[in-house]
Structure 1
């Protein structure tokens, strides 16, 4: 494997200014989202009847099936 010399990265003033602008925009969006969550949070929590487990299962795509209690359903249609 060939190795090359490390390249030098230089941080310019324009890059720092652009980073600050983007950071401020993200913070303002986050504050707006938090305000919306605080205002609408109580009504959303009461209207949503799903439990935390159900929400997680839905998010990850897990769909638990209830277990049957009777023997014929456990073994299918096997005949002896």
Structure 2
């Protein structure tokens, strides 16, 4: 049976309250991290930390593999 897609989405007051609560929690967590780091973090360091975190989450290891030794019997 083929069903049609919803024609509208309803946004409830509870949804907005939940969004605001999560937003405040994220901002509080960010402020705690900034104060615990001393606030001396540079944008480059922050970007590197985000990239490293992202690579760990997806299982990507950007370090090159060791090259195999060449056959020296030639």
Normalising by structure 1, report the TM-score. 0.48
Residues matched between the structures, number: 56
Q: Which structure: larger Rg?
A: 1
For residues 5 and 18 of structure 1, what CA distance do their matches in structure 2 show?
25
Moved over 4 A (4+): none
Q: Which runs of no fewer than 5 residues in structure 1 stay unpaired? A: 42-51, 67-72
Match of 2:73 among 62, 75, 78: 78
For residues 11 and 17 of structure 1, what CA distance do their matches in structure 2 show?
11
Q: Give the 3 Å change call, closer, same or farther, for CA 5–29 of structure 1 in structure 2.
A: closer
Query: Cα distance, 1:64 vs. partner?
Result: 6.3
Q: Which runs of no fewer than 5 residues in structure 2 stay unpaired? A: 42-47
Partner residue, 1:36 = 36
For residues 5 and 19 of structure 1, what CA distance do their matches in structure 2 show?
25
Aligned residues: CA RMSD: 3.2
